[in-house]
Amino acid sequence: MSIDVIMSRKVVVTHTEATLASLRGIFTEAHYQHVPVVDSMQRVVGIVSVKDFYKAMSPVVDSASEHTAELFAQGRKVRSIMTSPVVCIGPDTSVIQAATLLIERNISCLLVTNQQHKLLGIVSWKDIMRLVVQRQQSRRRQQEEEE
């Protein structure tokens, strides 16, 4: 099975010049754990995780007022905390290959891109585990029906 069957196609992106304040809005409103960073041509240039965001904000969150934290978030750009380069795969990559990459690279998601490096979707370890569980439940139901 190829990854394009299970990847999420609805992906919210950000840009290198966006502020951490705008990124906070994406994380809190969309409840995503990862936000791809794209350039003006919509090509993937990086990724930011919610962990990256909180790590960047940690110096001011505990010790500063809410106003100071907001000023800090307004003053920092996504490019300063994004991970680049990003591990990307094509839509025809097998689920097993994707799972292997996640384990080998010790990462929690992969961006799915076309040959021009434009974003097509995202797949996380949860998407792969969901597939495994669904297949197992389907097998179990099938066995119960046969008995």
CATH number of the structural domain spanning residue 22:
3.10.580.10
At residue 15, the pLDDT reads 95
Q: How confident is the model at residue 124 (pLDDT cuts 50, 70, 90)?
A: very high
Domain hosting residue 35, numbered range: 3-146
The Cα 83–Cα 48 span in angstroms is 6
**What pTM was estimated for this model as a whole?**
0.85
- Supply 135's token pair: 């297949």
Q: How many domains does the chain have?
A: 1
- Answer whether 50's CB lies under 8 Å from 75's CB: no
- Answer whether 14's CB lies under 8 Å from 37's CB: yes
Quote the mean pLDDT of the chain.
90
